[in-house]
Structure 1
Amino acid sequence: MIPGLRDSFTDLGWASFFAIRSDTPMRTLNSSMWGEGFGTHRHLMNRQVDKHYHCDDPLAEMHAFMAAHGIDGLQTAALLTAADLRDRAYEAERIPDGSEVCCWVTAGFSNKARAGRAQQVSALYPGTINTIVVVDGTLTDAAFVNAVITATEAKTAALHDLGVRVDDRDDAGAFATGTTTDAVLIASMQRGTSFRYAGTATQLGYAIGRTVYEAVMASGARYLRRTTAHEPGISGQA
């Protein structure tokens, strides 16, 4: 674990969550609406909700949830997922300069999809492959975007190796590239080595790719073992 970071899991059944807390502010890039885009946060959260979660004011609802659990919403970048947090996975990788990359993933495949294929509105519900990456270094804006690309490519590679295929009638048998509501959160400790790039040819990109790939493989395998034990195919809560 990166020095100054600590993670915790709070088991509340379908309302469980895990949080990653930092002793110092982190710069973040978040695809979710809670702490969206670029920002500065001390806490990262992945919260489990019911697959049919619906709220007229999700921002206010999330802030109320955080407040109820002693988390400062203004200092938190958060994700929602309908995936079972018991299937979460964690991976870490150190690169030669001593910097470390940590990754947390929750994965579920019931709304798996292939990019470029139209999806039904009914397939849209809280994110089912959520990826959080923290880098012990300083990232430029370009490196943040590179990190999103590298993490997404690694996720897709893992889905291929797990054998996750779409069910679409017109594309049956093709490998899924993700789900309809995936989310990614990249955070930088903003200290130590400065990184201008995070593509797959860089040491940082390798570390991001490896940790995301291994975490998706581990979380995805847990999901598949749990769901295929009682019903055929790849299905389940999320």
Structure 2
Amino acid sequence: MLAGPALTRRHEDGQDVPLLLWRFPEPLLAISSAVHGGGLGTRHWLINATVPMSYARPDPDTHLAALATGLGLTGPGIGLLTGVDVTEVVTTADDGVHVSATVGLGAPIPAASPDPGFGHHPGTVNIVVWVPQRLSDGALVNAVATATEAKAQALAERGLTATGTATDAVVVLCPIGGPVAAYGGPRSRWGAPLARAVHQAVLAGSF
């Protein structure tokens, strides 16, 4: 089982700002939409860092790399940013799947808005999922879709006509070795508890 994140802080712009840190005991396979370390591959750590709602740096990837260096992290990892106070992280579990979510819904949007515009706000729903069995590459992609569907279901149940925010991110982690599960959809062995755990976390998260 992947342990939950450690809460630490960094001094930045005259303030102590919270940050969630996972130091993986061994490298994990990850799929992620993160701005730093996104894509599919082996990862050694993960951070989810609070930033001000006024955050407008044009180089978040570089910013996250600097945060990782300051924490003494080495090897490829994943970096997430959010306008949410990450001390309010919600953790859930269902049948071996573990989820940590920071839920910021200050700027919710429907994905298929007829006039989406280009404004980005760092409210952000960041979802980190641990699945205890190796997933195939296709199952990892499907697991991201399942997590996103469960998030959208929770937002609908919260009365929002939105599917998320413009800056949401999903991370799915699993072991590198062992028997491979072929499916990650919402009625699969691991997709079903994943969907329930994400749904519960987003429902419980703060606005």
TM more than 0.5: yes
1:217 maps onto 2:203 in alignment: yes
Counterpart of 1:23 in 2: which secondary structure?
Answer: strand
1:203 maps onto 2:189 in alignment: yes
Residue 83 of structure 1 corresponds to: 84
Residue 234 of structure 1 corresponds to: none
Residue number among 139, 154, 172 corresponding to 2:150 in the alignment = 154
Deviation at 1:49, TM superposition (A): 0.7
- Map residues 169-208 of structure 1 onto 2, 5 A cutoff: 175-208=161-194
Q: Deviations over 1:72-118 (max 9, x none)?
A: 3x332111111221321001122xxxxx2111111111110012103
Cα distance change, pair 75–109 in 1 and its aligned pair in 2 (3 A)? same
1:7 maps onto 2:5 in alignment: yes
Read off the aligned partner of 1:27 and give its amino acid letter.
Answer: L
Contact 2:18 2:87 in 1 (8 A): no
Cα distance change, pair 46–163 in 1 and its aligned pair in 2 (3 A)? same
Read off the aligned partner of 2:17 and give its amino acid letter.
Answer: A
- Map residues 61-100 of structure 1 onto 2, 5 A cutoff: 61-72=63-74, 74-94=75-95, 100=96
Contact 2:131 2:173 in 1 (8 A): yes
Cα distance change, pair 163–154 in 1 and its aligned pair in 2 (3 A)? same
Q: Which has the larger radius of gyration?
A: 1
In the alignment, the residues of structure 1 paired with residue 126 and residue 156 of structure 2 have an alpha-carbon distance, to the nearest angstrom, of: 17
The 4+ residue runs of structure 1 with deviation greater than 6 A are none
In the alignment, the residues of structure 2 paired with residue 24 and residue 215 of structure 1 have an alpha-carbon distance, to the nearest angstrom, of: 26
How high is the TM-score relative to the length of structure 1?
A: 0.79
Name the stretch that deviates more: 189-198 or 208-217.
Answer: 189-198
In the alignment, the residues of structure 2 paired with residue 6 and residue 106 of structure 1 have an alpha-carbon distance, to the nearest angstrom, of: 13
Residue 140 of structure 2 corresponds to: 144
Q: How many residues align?
A: 202
Residue 129 of structure 1 corresponds to: 125
Read off the aligned partner of 1:77 and give its amino acid letter.
Answer: I
Counterpart of 2:54 in 1: which secondary structure?
Answer: coil
In the alignment, the residues of structure 1 paired with residue 175 and residue 112 of structure 2 have an alpha-carbon distance, to the nearest angstrom, of: 35
Read off the aligned partner of 1:204 and give its amino acid letter.
Answer: W
Percentage identity across aligned positions? 32
Structure 1: segments with no counterpart, 5+ residues: 95-99, 165-174, 225-238
Cα distance change, pair 207–193 in 1 and its aligned pair in 2 (3 A)? farther
Deviation at 1:25, TM superposition (A): 0.6
Cα distance change, pair 14–83 in 1 and its aligned pair in 2 (3 A)? farther
Residue number among 82, 106, 112 corresponding to 1:110 in the alignment = 106
RMSD of equivalent CA atoms: 1.8
In the alignment, the residues of structure 1 paired with residue 57 and residue 140 of structure 2 have an alpha-carbon distance, to the nearest angstrom, of: 30
Residue number among 98, 110, 117 corresponding to 1:120 in the alignment = 117
